[in-house]
Amino acid sequence: MQAIDARTARAGVIGLGYVGLPLAIATAAKGFPVIGFDIDPPKIEAIAAGRSYIEAVSDAALKAQTGAGRFEATGDFTRLDACDLVIICVPTPLTRHRDPDLSFVTATTREIARTLRPGQVIVLESTTFPGTTAEIVRPILEETGLVSGRDFLLGFSPEREDPGNRDYHTAVIPKIVAGEGEAARDALAAFYGAVVEQVVPVSTTQTAEAVKLTENIFRAVNIALVNELKILFDAMGIDIWEVVDAAKTKPFGYMPFYPGPGLGGHCIPIDPFYLTWKSREYELPTRFIELAGEINSAMPRHVVGRLAEALDIKCGKALSRSRVLVIGLAYKKNVPDIRESPSLKLIELIEERGGQAAYHDPHVAEIPRTREYMALKGRRSVPLTAETLAGFDAVLVATDHDAIDYQALLAAPLVVDTRNAFGRRGLADQRIVKA
């Protein structure tokens, strides 16, 4: 606690992605020495060169901390021994059968165990099901003979990053903290309290784990509701976007959520299934959550169905003989993040039906390697020019980046808009179909 107060406690952040790098820089900016750990050599090289690969961290912010000697990155995990606090920020994806994949968490915890020493504080930030910290992380660490609460402190503090959100960054987002025992809770509260503006302690690590799942399940369920309403209202000839815009004028009892082509990002499409998986242990159904997942997962197929229908009716052309330009590969606007992006599924579905698909995204120049869409690796964003548009039968707006020239898109014979990008800009044309 004295070292935290004096800013001499050294923090080790494992996983320098969308969560870990912003946390590392925010911590270093408050005066703490920080070592970042990652198994990806290009990330280590980029940090050493002062190049940030995360939009939330500017090159200037990165260079300020590396230049001051407060932050460095390494792939040498033996240096965890030099860290007083070790923070785990690694992915927690799903398997092909939608079961939790904790392989990154367990592998990282075993790395920590190799150098674990008395006096260290270990914190898990990765989103997971209630009980992970106590039932999976702690036993691995205690295989060393050291005991949680006596020799080292263990806690959980869920990440709350929102890529692309310029109003809320790491230092201003309230931080949930919980520890195995009061000493661990107080240590986490002291450390994070020195880095962020507000700390919210809760009673147990299981509670903290449940908080993060609840936040994302809330969004997933409400998005599923509005996606289902979109399909119903469309059949009735009602514009769901106009409905939501009017409904949100009510100053109480309503919160606007918006439909789309499917869910993306690492959290909302994945986290609910962590709880449905855990619920089986208690023999309790989670029908509401699972139904929301089914609705959201079905949206890309619905959108491609609407695309095929619009091509047939408005252009007299089958999807199997059409070329489609997908606008936006990222899962949300103004970011380069393609994790779980529905755009990848849209491209796959278009090509399964015999169509040809390409994409344009000002933030994603090339499709990287992904676990689910290996066949798309290496495809590059095509330029958005009149000549390019002339070669496509339809444009499908999947992500409404601000940098897109939407007026120019109207040169296409058909535009299918899943984000109301044209309506919000006051652009109307008979070639626009909402989906």
Same fold, 2-203 and 218-434: yes
Element (H, E) at 350: helix 342-352
CATH architecture, domain defined by 218-434: 3-Layer(aba) Sandwich (3.40)
Confidence of residue 380 (pLDDT cuts 50, 70, 90): very high
Residue-wise pLDDT tens digits, 237-272? 999 999 999 999 999 999 999 999 998 887 778 888
Give, in order, the Cα–Cα distances in Å from 391 to each of 324, 325, 355, 357, 410. Answer: 9, 9, 13, 11, 14
Instruction: Identify the pLDDT of residue 314.
Output: 94
* Helices and strands counted in the chain (H then E): 15, 13
Does position 4 have pLDDT exceeding 90, yes or no?
yes
Helices (H), ranges, 264-328: 271-279, 287-310
Instruction: Identify the pLDDT of residue 96.
Output: 75
Residue-wise pLDDT tens digits, 306-338? 999 999 999 999 999 999 999 999 999 999 999
Instruction: Identify the pLDDT of residue 59.
Output: 97
pTM value? Answer: 0.91
In contact, 127 and 267? CB cutoff 8 Å: yes
Instruction: Identify the pLDDT of residue 266.
Output: 74
Does position 97 have pLDDT exceeding 80, yes or no?
no
Pairing of strands 175-179, 153-156: antiparallel
Pairing of strands 85-88, 121-124: parallel
CATH architecture, domain defined by 2-203: 3-Layer(aba) Sandwich (3.40)
Question: What residues are annotated to the active site?
Answer: 267
Q: Please tell me what DSSP assigns to residue 362.
A: T
What does the block give as tokens for 19? 């969560």
Q: What is the mean pLDDT of residues 67-87?
A: 97
Q: What is the mean pLDDT of residues 105-117?
A: 98
Does position 117 have pLDDT exceeding 80, yes or no?
yes
Residue-wise pLDDT tens digits, 285-300? 999 999 999 999 999 9
Does position 161 have pLDDT exceeding 90, yes or no?
no
Give the percent of the chain with pLDDT over 90: 91
Q: Map out the domains of the chain as residue ranges.
A: 2-203, 218-434
What does the block give as tokens for 50? 């002062």
Average pLDDT over the chain, rounded to whole? 95
Element (H, E) at 417: strand 415-417
Confidence of residue 166 (pLDDT cuts 50, 70, 90): confident
Quick one: CA dihedral 164, 167, 171, 176, positive or negative? negative
What does the block give as tokens for 17? 């992605």
